[in-house]
Structure 1
């Protein structure tokens, strides 16, 4: 195939790559905000006293497990 044919040939991207930039930015921003929210909630849970955890029916082990999860591990996405 000669160079002229290569340069004049149009390549089509998958539909996901054709999505609008503002839509992708909006989705990325929403994901970053959710990750920030998860990290903040996990830090707050870890800071609760044992008496407060007992009031909500959770053990320290439950909270340590939850707090050790990475910020991108979103239980709502399962």
Structure 2
């Protein structure tokens, strides 16, 4: 998935349709896994940035280090 469904979109989808509970659970799991995957990928990309790249996006070395050391499940 290149884009993740945010929580409000998921809530709208489940409210707009009558989905079985197992389908709602499966959607929530899929959204969580997509978010985790995106966090892992973007943090890995952040770790590869040099000083100039971090400066371009407005992060100090310490801020970038703290972000890259977070586990994928933590926002």
Q: Same fold (TM over 0.5)?
A: yes
Residues 40-63 of structure 1: CA distance to partner in whole angstroms, max 9, x if unpaired? 111111111111111222111111
Structure 1 counterpart of 2:66: 65
Structure 1: distance between partners of 2:58 and 2:33: 30
RMSD: 1.2
Residue 37 of structure 1 is matched in structure 2 by 38
Unaligned runs of 5+ in 1: 1-18
Tell me which residue corresponds to 1:26: 27
Partner of 1:51: 52
- Which one has the largest radius of gyration? 1
Counterparts of 2:58 and 2:34 in 1: how far apart (Å)? 28
Q: Stretches of 4+ moved more than 2 A in 1?
A: none
TM-score by length of 1: 0.66
State the TM-score, normalizing by the size of structure 2.
0.69
